[in-house]
Amino acid sequence: MTDDKDVLRDVWFGRIPACFTLYQDEITKREAEPYYLLLPRVSYLTLVTDKVKKHFQKVMRQEDISEIWFEYEGTPLKWHYPIGLLFDLLASSSALPWNITVHFKSFPEKDLLHCPSKDVIEAHFMSCMKEADALKHKSQVINEMQKKDHKQLWMGLQNDRFDQFWAINRKLMEYPAEENGFRYIPFRIYQTTTERPFIQKLFRPVAADGQLHTLGDLLKEVCPSAVAPEGSRNQTWVSSMADKNSATEPPLHHLPYSFHLFWWIQTYCKWDLLIRLYKLRCDPPHSRCILIPLQESYIRR
C-alpha cells in the first residue's frame, strides 16, 4: 500500500500560501507590513497563526488589541473549519496567495465562535474525531483508547507530526474482519451554492446486497442536485488531488462515480474525520463537485 501512504502524506503536508494584512481601521503605532505564511490545509487558523498575531501586535498598543479574527473579502473565517475547507469554499478560484485580513476588534459574534485558547481548538478537534468514530464504530474504538492516545492525535496535528498522528489514527481506520467497512461513512457535504451549513446523513459503505457503495451512490442519495441527469450535457464530476509535485495548484484527476467509497475514504480521507464534499457552481450549466476529506486532501479546480 505504498501508494496509499504517499497519498496520506500528500494530504497531510498540503499547504496554501497566504498573505495576512492588517485591517485598515485597526489603530497602529506605525505601518504594519503584510505577513506571509504557508498554511497547512489540515489544520485550523487559530492553531497556526501565533506568528501572525505577534507580528501585528508589535505595531499596536495593548489597549487596541482584543481577540484576533480573520476575514476574506468581507467573510469572517470560521476558525473551526479546516483551513483547506475554508480556502476551497471561498478562495479557490482566486489567485494565490490567499489574501486574508486580520482584525483585532469588533469580533463578529454572530458569525464566529470564540477561540480564547488552544484548549478550545483541541476540544473541537477531539469532538470531530469522536463524532466520526461514533458513525464508524459506534465510538467503540476511540472510547477504548487511553487519554494519552487522544493526546497523541492532538499533538500530532499541533506539531505537524505525520507519523505521530497516524500511529493512533490508523486504529480509527480499521474495521472488524467480518464487516465490509465502517458502520456508516462519516461525511459532510458543503455547498457553495446555498446558505445551509452542510449535509450530513447516515450512509452505509455497503448496500443490502453486499455491493460496495460508490461515490456516485452517496451523491445520488444525499445530494441528488449535485448529480447531472443521465445523458445531460451538464457535467458533474469529482476530482481529487493526486500530484504531489505541485506546491500550490494541485492538479486534479477525476474520480469516476464508480469509485468505491470506502476505499476512497480510507485512502484519501486519512483521518477518521469527516469527509466533505461540496458543489461549486461556476459557469453554468456545469456544476463541479468538490470532495474534501476533512482536514485532508481535497479536490478542487
SS3 217: helix
Distance CA 40, CA 14 (A): 6
> Residue 69's closest CA among 92, 86, 94, 85?
86
CB atoms within 10 A of CB 159: 9
Contact footprint for another protein (CB under 8 A): 78, 80, 113, 123-124, 126-127, 130-131, 134-135, 139, 142-143, 147, 150, 184, 197-198, 200-202
Q: Which is nearer to another protein, 127 or 258 (CB)?
A: 127
Q: Which is nearer to another protein, 15 or 150 (CB)?
A: 150
| Cell matching residue 162 | 505525520
Q: How many CA atoms lie within 13 A of 176 on its CB side?
A: 8
Supply the minimum distance, in Å, between the C-beta of residue 50 and another protein.
23
CB atoms within 10 A of CB 112: 17
Supply the minimum distance, in Å, between the C-beta of residue 255 and another protein.
24
Q: Which is nearer to another protein, 134 or 228 (CB)?
A: 134
Supply the minimum distance, in Å, between the C-beta of residue 202 and another protein.
6
Q: Which is nearer to another protein, 126 or 212 (CB)?
A: 126
Q: Which is nearer to another protein, 113 or 247 (CB)?
A: 113
Q: Which is nearer to another protein, 9 or 124 (CB)?
A: 124
CB atoms within 10 A of CB 116: 8
Supply the minimum distance, in Å, between the C-beta of residue 130 and another protein.
4
Distance CA 176, CA 189 (A): 27
Residue 29 phi, psi (nearest 5)? -75, -30
Q: Which is nearer to another protein, 123 or 247 (CB)?
A: 123
Supply the minimum distance, in Å, between the C-beta of residue 201 and another protein.
5
> Residue 216's closest CA among 266, 163, 255, 161?
255
Residue 127 phi, psi (nearest 5)? -65, -40
SS3 69: strand
Supply the minimum distance, in Å, between the C-beta of residue 134 and another protein.
5
Supply the minimum distance, in Å, between the C-beta of residue 126 and another protein.
7
What is residue 213's DSSP assignment? Answer: P
Distance CA 174, CA 163 (A): 17
